Amino acid sequence: MTVSLSRRAFLTRSAILGCSAAASPLLTPISLAAAPWDQRLVVIILRGAMDGLDVVQPYGDPSFPGLRRTLSAGPAAGALDLDGFFALHPALAPLYPLWQANDLGFVHAVSTPYRDKRSHFDGQDLLEAGTATLGSAAGRDGWLNRLLQSVPGIEAETAYSIGHDNMLLLTGAAPVANWSPDISLGLSPQAVRLAELVMHDDPLFRDAFAEAQMLSGSMQMMEENTMMAGGEMSGMATMTQPPKGKAKGIDLIAEFTAKRLKADTRIAAFSIGGWDTHDGQQRALPRALGQLSQAILTLKAELGPHWKKTTVLAMTEFGRTVRENGTRGTDHGTGGAMLLAGGAVRGGRVYGDWPGLSEADLYNRRDLMPTRDVRAYAAWAMRGLYGIQRSVLEQTVFPGVDMDSDPGILR
Amino acid sequence: MTFDPILAEKRFGYGLSPRLAAPDSVADILTRLQEPDEIAVRFQVEPFSQFRDRMHRAQSIRKEFRELRGTEAGKALQKQLKLVKKDARQQHRHWLVQTMLRRSWTRDGFRERLAAFWADHFTAQGKAGLLKRGTTPYIEEAIRPHLSGRFADLLYATTTSPLMLHYLDQENSMGPDSRRAQKRGIKAGLNENLARELLELHTLGVGAPYSQGDVRQLAELLTGLTYSAQDGTKFRKDFAEPGSETVLGKTYGGDQPGLDDIRAVLEDLAAHPATAHHIASKLAVHFVSDTPDPELVRVLEQRYRDTGGDLTQVYDALLTHPAAWQPEPSNIKLPDEFIASTMRALAIDPQVFSAIEDGDQHEKHVIRLFLKPLQLMGQPWQAPLGPDGWAEEDDAWLTPQGLSARIDWAMSAPAKMRNPLPDPRHFVTDALGRWAPEPVRFAAKAAENRRVGVALILASPAFQRK
């Protein structure tokens, strides 16, 4: 029950601050200690297994064209050449300027230690747990939470899990905020007191409610501050800018993420689904890629000057078969790709040791051979961003990972 | 730790109703389950075979349209197609209401819970077009008639259902050496999605000893299994991989590929000890606790194996086990259970919905009352992210945002369905029976108005756990 543990820790803190903050409009902003770092990290989990070979197409590999019949035909079919060997899926064209500005990069032929069963659900659990094997479900925590556990001075809003799913990635003993931008909780002070009373004896309810009260309160405060700041700058800006429609879906998530990162939050995570392209991949994949590129562009636009200090890692549970299947899609595979973005990354290149695609180079004669543990790249990112000790990364955050040499993915 | 009528309604049904008597024994629950499905007659839902007529109609219109593109007649056809789609969408909203009303007014809550449990175990959804509206008809036809029969029959019905064949991409899968693939060249072939999920999710479970080779062989064995809007499920010999396949060491098929081979492999998968364990664990987790007593799982598993997967027998083993009747409420209701049990406790009059004659109005009402709130609670209606369905773990649901969405709904929705709202001091007993904890009784009394009083009762852990 690691979640309730973390919420208990949270509750102690929020009790000191006054956990009915939202109920009291007179209370001045909730005081949170400054975050321990300035660097921002966003982890996006791509659920469903992204086809790395279609997103970053190794069109320079002589074996590749024979493996894909309708998919991944490289620059000849509209993909954008990256470096003479790899080409970017056309649906990511909106991100191409970022590539040119060295704000976008990729890592290829990587995977978690998960092998052979190729189950989405175990694969995602392992990706988020950051461990080498799947232990029992009880008491599991996520690698981003273990990172937080290793750092003193973490506050409830240092890390944010955003959206409607409770991500294992951030679950654990360290305090983490969970929220979704489309939720509001407007209760009268009397209703809040009574709700606290009915939930008091059930820790899971009590702590979730306390956190909800505090987050929705701090959210309101933030909105009001933004509105006031806008007002002071006179009507100029608002008149010249077209009125912005209410953001929806992934825009709303990315916009909210950026807002938190501009305030006290330093680490945020959310997920994007839609990558399980067994059938008609040419139709299905651009939808998911559109979401991903929209999320990154919104982050960049909203973060403004903070983009320079931002690292985005987009990771998936495993790659897909090198061969196209019989229904113009791909089935579950092993090695895949990770996306890097942000002003803090050294983009403009595809990292990794390319294993080749001839029959003998493949994993089980069907999948891209992973040549490095994807966790090693994430570990090096955290080492560079936050100065976390190598021993902590190798033993606690990613138990058993071999970080090996620094791939230099950060500027 | 023995049978209790209130617990029976909460844990194995959709909660207490002020208007309907709870079952008085385990035998009573099981007897009700064997009786005719009267609630399905009262609140009807279209079975898939009928839903298929809609698909067929849309297909015919599209076909005709291709000839008449750009003409006035073509325009009329486009309009017709739009209406077919709109009608299916509005029916989909209506079926949501019907599902909730069944749960609210049934005397046989266990049947409704089982329908939802198996619909989740065999998650299927449409990915495009009209099929997006087909989930309730799928449940009605492939799942509901088999709730208390053999697991193998349920497995066969779901595996061969058009919606499942569509959802897990079986419909276009062809043997690499099939006649059809040979004719179409290298562009046609195998898709292993259904085969993998059959083993991993529907039968053996991911921990069981099967290999990538078994997935592949099963995928080849399944080739030929497809459907059309006109005929429903069918076996296309020209799609089928010639020769035999070996799954988990047993050889199936041969010269005359057909549905019999598929029936045979599904029977064997249903009878596999790993399947017995997988199904036993899932039932125990869903109905009793996230961390069920291992002894309970063992007993269910044993009964499954002893009876060849007779589901009524397995339910009997569940309901007669003391661990099933631990008095402390445990699992948290899923959002759709929370909504249904609220409607049941409030005895929502079906006329609230049937009286809205205008389709657009009705649709708006359903979106506001159910579709949008379910999404905010983390459970968009019939749209889980993957074929593994919804999470069972309590903390997947009781996030700050999830709880806020529940409270928000509890504050606003009841008053839109029942006017005036009941007196909270009485409603607390309607909803929680004699178990109502003192703080909840106090809150019901102290609330500033009825609306808040009712909401606080619904928000309480005593109501949200089962």
Q: Render A356-368 in DSSP notation, one character per residue.
A: --SGGGSBTTTBP
Question: How remote is the C-alpha of B464 from its chain's centroid?
Answer: 20
Q: What is the pLDDT of residue A246?
A: 56
Model pLDDT, residue B368: 95
CB contact under 8 A, A208 and B447: no
Q: CA A87, CA A77: separation in Å to the nearest integer?
A: 10
First to last CA, chain A: 39
pLDDT at A20 over 50: no
Return the minimum-mean-pLDDT range out of A172-181, B120-129, B155-164: A172-181
Handedness of CA B280, B281, B287, B289 (dihedral sign): positive
* Nearest by CB: A182 against B188, B200, B376: B376
Peptide bond into B273 cis (omega under 30): no
* Binary contact (B439, A198; C-beta < 8 A): yes
- For range B353-376, the mean pLDDT: 95
Residue B30 pLDDT class (50, 70, 90 cuts):
very high
Angstrom distance (rounded) from CA B195 to CA B200: 9
pLDDT, residue B94, reads 97
A34, pLDDT greater than 80: no
Q: Distance (Å) from the C-alpha of residue A385 to the closest C-alpha of chain B? A: 29
Q: Would you call B172 and A327 a contact, using CB atoms and an 8 Å cutoff?
A: yes
Tell me what pLDDT residue A19 has. Answer: 34
Chain B residue numbers touching A279 (CB-CB < 8 A): 169, 172, 191, 193
- CB neighbour list of residue B117: distance below 8 Å, 6 or more residues apart: B283, B286, B287
Alpha-helical (H) ranges within A367-407 are 374-386, 390-392
Region B171-182 average pLDDT? 93
Q: How far apart are CA B430 and CA B428, in angstroms?
A: 6
Contacts of A296 (CB under 8 A, 6+ apart): A95, A98, A104, A254, A312, A341
Residue A263 to residue A35: CA distance in whole angstroms: 9
Rounded to whole angstroms, the Cα distance separating A42 from A162 reads 11
In this prediction, residue B184 carries a pLDDT of 82
Question: How many residues are recorded in chain B?
Answer: 466
Task: Compute the distance between CA of residue B117 and CA of residue A142 in angstroms, rounded to an integer.
Answer: 29
CA dihedral of residues B201, B206, B209, B211 (deg, nearest 10): 80
Q: For a pLDDT cut of 70, what percent of chain A falls above it?
A: 83
| CA gap A83, A351 in Å, rounded | 11
Q: Is the pLDDT of residue B205 over 50?
A: yes
The alpha-carbon radius of gyration of chain A (Å, integer) is 22
Residue A287 burial (CB count, 10 A) = 12
Contact A278 B386 (CB under 8 A): no
CA distance, residue A46 to nearest chain B CA (Å): 12
Longest dimension (CA), chain B: 76
Determine contact, residues B178/A265, Cβ cutoff 8 Å.
no
Give the C-alpha separation, A38 to A40, whole Å.
Answer: 7
Give all strands (DSSP E) within B321-396, no chain letters: none
Q: How distant is the alpha carbon of residue A52 from its chain centre?
A: 17
Q: A335 and A368 in contact (C-beta within 8 Å)?
A: yes
Tokens 């229904």 belong to residue: A327
Chain A residue numbers touching B376 (CB-CB < 8 A): 164, 180, 182-183
Select from B181, B378, B393 the Cβ nearest to the Cβ of A326. B181
Between chains, do B395 and A325 touch, taking CB under 8 Å as contact?
no
Q: What angle do CA B431, B437, B441 make, to 5 degrees?
A: 70
Name which of B328, B466, B463, B335 is nearest B399 in CA terms.
B335
Chain A CB contacts of B385 under 8 Å are 47-48, 165, 273
Burial letters for B279-313: b for 16+ Cβ neighbours within 10 Å, e otherwise? bbbbbbbbbbbbebbeebbebbbebbbebebbbeb
User: What pLDDT is stored for residue B156 in this prediction?
Assistant: 98
Cβ <8 Å between A188 and B448: yes
- With a cut of 50, say whether residue A230 has pLDDT above it: no
* Residue A5: pLDDT over 60: no
Q: Does B449 touch chain A (CB under 8 A)?
A: no
Q: Mention every residue, 6+ apart, whose C-beta is less than 8 A from residue B295.
A: B323
Average per-residue pLDDT in chain A?
86
Residue by residue, DSSP assigns A196-237 as: HHHHTT-HHHHHHHHHHHHHHHHHHHHHHHHHHHHHHTTTHH
The gap from C-alpha A76 to its chain's centroid, in whole angstroms, comes to 32
Cα–Cα distance between B446 and B449 in angstroms, integer? 9
Cβ of B174: how many Cβ atoms within 10 Å? 27
CB contact B437 to A (< 8 Å): yes
* A70 interaction partners in chain B (CB closer than 8 Å): 187
Mean pLDDT value of segment B275-288:
98
Instruction: Give the nearest partner residue to B443 out of A185, A198, A279, using CB atoms.
Output: A198
| Tens digits of residue pLDDT in A52-91 | 999 999 999 999 999 999 999 999 999 999 999 999 999 9
pLDDT at A15: 37
Contact (Cβ atoms closer than 8 angstroms) between residue B93 and residue B362: yes
Residue A231 in this model has a pLDDT that exceeds 80: no
Decide if pLDDT at A405 tops 60. Answer: yes
Instruction: Please report the beta strands in B82-222, taking only residues with DSSP state E, as ranges in sequence order.
Output: none
Q: How confident is the model at residue B15 (pLDDT cuts 50, 70, 90)?
A: very high
pLDDT value at A243 more than 80 = no
B420 Cβ contact list (under 8 Å, min separation 6): B450
Q: For chain B, give me the number of helices (H) and strands (E)? A: 26, 4
Confidence label for A32 from pLDDT (cuts 50, 70 and 90)? very low
Question: Which residues, listed in sequence order, are joined to residue B310 by a DSSP beta bridge?
Answer: B150
B397 contact partners, CB below 8 Å, separation of at least 6: A166, B332, B334, B335, B377, B378, B391
- The one-character DSSP state at A246 is P
Choose among B24, B118, B15, B28: nearest CA to B466.
B15
Does B405 contact A at CB distance below 8 Å? yes
Band of pLDDT at residue A223, cut at 50, 70 and 90:
low
Query: What pLDDT is stored for residue B186 in this prediction?
Result: 66
Kindly determine whether residue B376 and residue A164, on different chains, have CB atoms separated by under 8 Å.
yes
Are the C-beta atoms of residues B104 and B340 closer than 8 Å to each other?
A: yes
Instruction: Judge whether B464 is closer than 8 Å to chain A, CB to CB.
Output: yes
CB contacts under 8 A, B 204-233 vs A, are 206, 211-212, 215
Residue A237, judged by CB atoms within 10 A of its CB (0-12, 13-18, 19+), counts as: exposed
Q: Is the pLDDT of residue A242 over 50?
A: no
> What phi and psi, each to the nearest 5 degrees, are found at residue B409?
-65, -45
Q: Per residue in A120-174, pLDDT tens?
A: 989 999 999 999 988 766 568 999 999 999 988 888 789 999 998 889 999 999 9
Residue pLDDT, tens place only, A283-324: 999 999 999 999 999 999 999 999 999 999 999 999 999 999
Q: Three-state SS for B359?
A: helix
The alpha carbon dihedral of B171, B175, B179, B181 has a sign of positive
Whole-number percent of chain B with pLDDT over 90: 94
Query: pLDDT band at residue A351, thresholds of 50, 70 and 90?
Result: very high
The pLDDT value recorded for residue A241 is 36
Cα–Cα distance for residue pair B414/A333, rounded to 1 Å: 48
Q: Across the interface, do A329 and B169 touch by the CB < 8 Å criterion?
A: yes
* Residues paired with residue A159 on neighbouring β-strands, in sequence order: A267
Structure confidence at residue A140 (pLDDT) = 84
Q: B464 to chain A nearest CA, in Å?
A: 10
Is the ipTM, as predicted for this complex, more than 0.95?
Answer: no
| Chain segment B58-93, per-residue pLDDT in tens | 999 999 999 998 899 999 999 999 999 999 999 999
- Whether residue A43 contacts residue A313, with contact meaning beta carbons closer than 8 Å, is answered with yes
Reply yes or no on whether the pLDDT at A236 is more than 50. Answer: no
Location of structure tokens 């009825």: B450
pLDDT score of B383: 95
Quick one: chain A helix, strand, coil %, rounded to 5? 45, 15, 45
Comparing A181-185, B193-197, B328-332, the range with the smallest average pLDDT is A181-185
Is A180 within 8 Å of B459 when comparing Cβ atoms?
no
Pull the structure tokens for residue B345.
């406790």
d(CA B466, CA B459): 13
Which H or E run contains B25?
A: none
Q: How many helices (H) and strands (E) does chain A have?
A: 13, 12
Q: Which two tokens stand for residue A351?
A: 């990292």
Average pLDDT over residues A340-345: 98
pLDDT classification of B188: cutoffs 50, 70, 90: confident
What is the number of CB-based contacts under 8 A between chain A and chain B?
172
Distance CA A169, CA A135 (A): 15
d(CA B97, CA A149): 46
A315: which strand partners? A45
DSSP, collapsed to helix, strand or coil, labels residue A270 as strand
pLDDT for residue A16: 35
> Chain A: residue nearest B460 by CA?
A198
DSSP A396: I
Candidate from A24-28, B103-107, B365-369 with smallest mean pLDDT: A24-28
Which strand (E) or helix (H) includes residue B268? helix B259-271
Residue A36 in this model has a pLDDT that exceeds 80: no
Query: Which of A130-144, B82-96, B126-140, B396-410 bottoms out in mean pLDDT, i.e. has the lowest?
Result: A130-144
pLDDT of amino acid B87: 97
Extract long-range pairs of A81-85: CB within 8 Å, 24+ residues apart.
A82/A56, A82/A106, A82/A350, A83/A349, A83/A350, A84/A60, A85/A58, A85/A59, A85/A60, A85/A61, A85/A350, A85/A354
